[in-house]
Protein backbone atom coordinates (compact mmCIF):
# COMPACT_ATOMS: atom_id res chain seq x y z
CA UNK A 1 0.00 0.00 0.00
CA UNK A 2 1.40 3.35 -0.95
CA UNK A 3 1.52 6.24 1.50
CA UNK A 4 -1.21 8.07 -0.45
CA UNK A 5 -3.55 5.06 -0.25
CA UNK A 6 -2.94 4.73 3.49
CA UNK A 7 -3.57 8.45 3.97
CA UNK A 8 -6.91 8.20 2.14
CA UNK A 9 -8.03 5.14 4.09
CA UNK A 10 -7.09 6.47 7.51
CA UNK A 11 -9.79 9.13 7.26
CA UNK A 12 -12.38 6.42 8.05
CA UNK A 13 -10.45 4.73 10.86
CA UNK A 14 -11.85 6.96 13.61
CA UNK A 15 -15.35 5.84 12.62
CA UNK A 16 -14.46 2.18 13.27
CA UNK A 17 -11.62 2.21 15.82
CA UNK A 18 -12.71 0.54 19.06
CA UNK A 19 -16.06 -0.62 17.64
CA UNK A 20 -17.21 -4.09 18.57
CA UNK A 21 -19.01 -6.47 16.28
CA UNK A 22 -19.66 -10.09 15.38
CA UNK A 23 -17.82 -12.17 12.78
CA UNK A 24 -20.22 -13.25 10.02
CA UNK A 25 -17.61 -14.79 7.69
CA UNK A 26 -14.00 -15.87 8.14
CA UNK A 27 -11.38 -17.17 5.72
CA UNK A 28 -8.02 -18.46 6.90
CA UNK A 29 -5.24 -17.03 4.75
CA UNK A 30 -2.26 -19.36 4.41
CA UNK A 31 -0.78 -17.69 1.33
CA UNK A 32 -0.12 -13.95 1.09
CA UNK A 33 1.83 -11.25 -0.68
CA UNK A 34 5.47 -11.06 0.36
CA UNK A 35 4.83 -7.98 2.53
CA UNK A 36 2.26 -9.93 4.59
CA UNK A 37 4.12 -13.24 5.02
CA UNK A 38 5.09 -12.33 8.59
CA UNK A 39 1.41 -12.39 9.60
CA UNK A 40 0.60 -15.88 8.23
CA UNK A 41 -1.63 -17.56 9.01
CA UNK A 42 -4.23 -14.85 9.52
CA UNK A 43 -7.97 -14.64 9.05
CA UNK A 44 -9.76 -12.28 6.72
CA UNK A 45 -13.13 -11.39 8.22
CA UNK A 46 -16.47 -9.85 7.49
CA UNK A 47 -17.62 -8.16 10.70
CA UNK A 48 -21.18 -7.04 11.41
CA UNK A 49 -21.07 -3.77 13.34
CA UNK A 50 -24.85 -3.47 13.58
CA UNK A 51 -25.72 -0.94 10.90
CA UNK A 52 -23.01 -2.03 8.47
CA UNK A 53 -20.59 -4.81 7.66
CA UNK A 54 -16.91 -4.29 6.93
CA UNK A 55 -14.06 -6.58 5.90
CA UNK A 56 -10.80 -6.54 7.87
CA UNK A 57 -7.80 -8.70 8.67
CA UNK A 58 -7.86 -10.65 11.89
CA UNK A 59 -4.92 -10.30 14.26
CA UNK A 60 -2.06 -12.62 13.33
CA UNK A 61 -2.08 -15.98 15.05
CA UNK A 62 -5.69 -15.75 16.21
CA UNK A 63 -8.34 -18.15 14.87
CA UNK A 64 -11.78 -16.65 14.19
CA UNK A 65 -15.15 -18.33 13.71
CA UNK A 66 -18.58 -17.06 12.75
CA UNK A 67 -20.27 -15.66 15.84
CA UNK A 68 -17.05 -14.55 17.56
CA UNK A 69 -17.21 -11.14 19.20
CA UNK A 70 -14.41 -8.85 18.03
CA UNK A 71 -13.10 -5.34 18.50
CA UNK A 72 -11.46 -3.21 15.80
CA UNK A 73 -7.95 -1.98 16.62
CA UNK A 74 -5.10 -0.27 14.79
CA UNK A 75 -2.21 -2.58 13.91
CA UNK A 76 0.53 -3.01 11.32
CA UNK A 77 -0.93 -4.57 8.18
CA UNK A 78 2.28 -5.33 6.32
CA UNK A 79 5.99 -5.75 6.90
CA UNK A 80 7.62 -2.88 5.12
CA UNK A 81 11.20 -2.42 3.99
CA UNK A 82 13.45 -0.47 6.35
CA UNK A 83 13.17 2.72 4.25
CA UNK A 84 9.36 2.57 3.91
CA UNK A 85 6.71 4.24 6.03
CA UNK A 86 5.10 1.87 8.57
CA UNK A 87 1.70 0.84 7.20
CA UNK A 88 -1.10 0.61 9.73
CA UNK A 89 -4.72 -0.40 9.27
CA UNK A 90 -7.73 -1.79 11.04
CA UNK A 91 -7.62 -5.34 12.35
CA UNK A 92 -9.97 -7.37 14.50
CA UNK A 93 -9.09 -8.94 17.86
CA UNK A 94 -11.21 -11.12 20.14
CA UNK A 95 -13.14 -9.30 22.83
The CATH number of whichever domain residue 51 belongs to comes to 2.40.50
List pLDDT tens digits, range 4-31: 565 566 677 889 999 999 999 999 988 8
- pTM equals 0.80
> Which residues constitute the domain of residue 67?
3-94
Give the number of domains in the chain: 1
From CA 69, how far away is CA 24, in angstroms rounded? 10
Amino acid sequence: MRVTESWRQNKTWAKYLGKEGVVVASTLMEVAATDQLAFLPYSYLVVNLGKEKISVMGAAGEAFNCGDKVKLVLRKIKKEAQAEVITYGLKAIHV
